[in-house]
Amino acid sequence: MTAQQSKKIAEKSKSESGKSTGDGPVRVAIQGYEGSFHQVAAWTFFGKSVEVIPCATFREVVKRASADGPETGGVMAIENSIAGSILPNYNLLQQSQLHITGEVYLQINQNLLVNPDVKLEDIREVHTHPMALLQCMEYLDKYNWKLIETEDTALSAKHVHQHHSKHIAAIASTLAAELFDLKVIAPNIHTMKNNYTRFLILDNKQKQDYLPEADKASVNFHTDHSRGSLARVLTTIADEGINLSKLQSFPIPGTDFKYSFHADMEFDELNQFQTVINKLKNLTGEIRVLGVYKRGQLNQH
């Protein structure tokens, strides 16, 4: 990031108040580059003063977030309302010792970005991540542009800016346009307008006490694989008045098609969750609480 872009973030931080962490400045690892949707999610949760540590891969995010050091954790996409679950990220989470401390639901708005003096008829190529191309294909099909897949939406925007490209556009966020002095020549070009990505907020430190306002939890458990064992677990959860908002199965490595389960539970009071966990300990071969946190809202962006 250039000094000018850093100054923009600092100025924006002063003018827009975010969520206070109570512990001073926060540094978190994100997948992608400055201007990515991961950075928008980090700003949404922590506030604009958070410092993001860009990582090329989700595995690197987990590694950086898990290490002892100035980073307090990470932000990682876990599912999308159109594309579904990001299964490799569930596996990375299960293999780590990270704890989920929050979540952000971010509406993904894709925009066509160009340098300030570029007109629509000047564009010959569009560069962006393959997923963004798919999300915007109905709009892109109207033009005879060459579509180039890249590793990151924000990085595409950065390259358009750095190379002063007149014939190349990028698809990325409005934050990327702001950071890299690009013009939004066509806003909201994605086909599906109700497109949300859920991001997990990860911490490498175990909290001693659950937040009193917590109303959601993520757990991973194994059943004993006897007949009806999963049904007994699900019935116990329902009997305690808990909503099971997510249930995802994963094969257990080294076994003959045995599975573990990731479950997201929503509840009204913490004692509901604590009661059901105590009961599930007798119904599961192994159970791990990945995090207890405040439920995210769909209208955050």
Task: Please state the φ and ψ torsions of residue 161, each to the nearest 5 degrees.
Answer: -70, -45
Long-range pairs for 80-87: beta carbons < 8 A, 24 or more residues apart? 80/108, 80/195, 80/196, 80/197, 80/198, 81/194, 81/195, 81/196, 81/197, 82/135, 82/192, 82/195, 83/131, 85/248, 86/58, 87/248, 87/250
Residue 257: its pLDDT value, please? 77
Tell me the three state secondary structure of residue 137. helix
CA distance 182 to 11: 18
User: Which class is 111-186 in CATH?
Assistant: alpha beta
Residue 50: its pLDDT value, please? 92
Strand partners, 196: 107
**pLDDT digits (tens), the chain, 301 positions:** 444 544 454 444 433 333 444 455 689 999 999 999 999 999 999 998 999 999 999 999 999 999 877 667 999 999 998 888 999 999 999 999 999 999 999 999 999 999 999 999 999 999 999 989 999 999 999 999 999 999 999 999 999 999 999 999 999 999 999 999 999 999 999 999 888 999 999 998 877 677 889 999 999 999 877 889 999 999 999 999 999 999 999 988 888 778 899 999 999 999 999 999 999 999 998 999 999 999 999 864 4
What tens digit of pLDDT does each residue of 154-189 get?
A: 999 999 999 999 999 999 999 999 999 999 999 999
User: Which class is 3-107+195-203 in CATH?
Assistant: alpha beta
Return the biggest CA–CA distance within the chain. 67
Tell me the three state secondary structure of residue 129. coil
Instruction: CATH 3.40.190.10 in the chain: give the residue spans.
Output: 3-107+195-203, 111-186
CB neighbour burial string for 128-140, b if at least 16 within 10 angstroms, e if fewer: bbebbbebbeebb
DSSP state, 78? E
Residue 71: its pLDDT value, please? 65
Instruction: CATH 3.30.70.260 in the chain: give the residue spans.
Output: 216-293
Instruction: Sheet with 259-266: list strands edge to edge.
Output: 243-251, 259-266, 216-222, 286-293
Residue 208: its pLDDT value, please? 65
CB neighbour burial string for 221-242, b if at least 16 within 10 angstroms, e if fewer: bbbeeeeeebebbeebbeebeb
Residue 25: its pLDDT value, please? 63
CA triplet 35, 40, 45: central angle to 5 degrees? 150
Start-end of H helices in 163-261:
174-179, 229-239
What tens digit of pLDDT does each residue of 27-71 get?
A: 999 999 999 999 999 999 999 899 999 999 999 999 999 987 766
In 2-114 the beta strands, taken as DSSP E runs, fall at 27-31, 51-55, 73-80, 84-85, 99-107, 111-114
Tell me the three state secondary structure of residue 280. helix
pTM metric for this prediction: 0.85
216-293 classified as CATH 3.30.70.260: yes
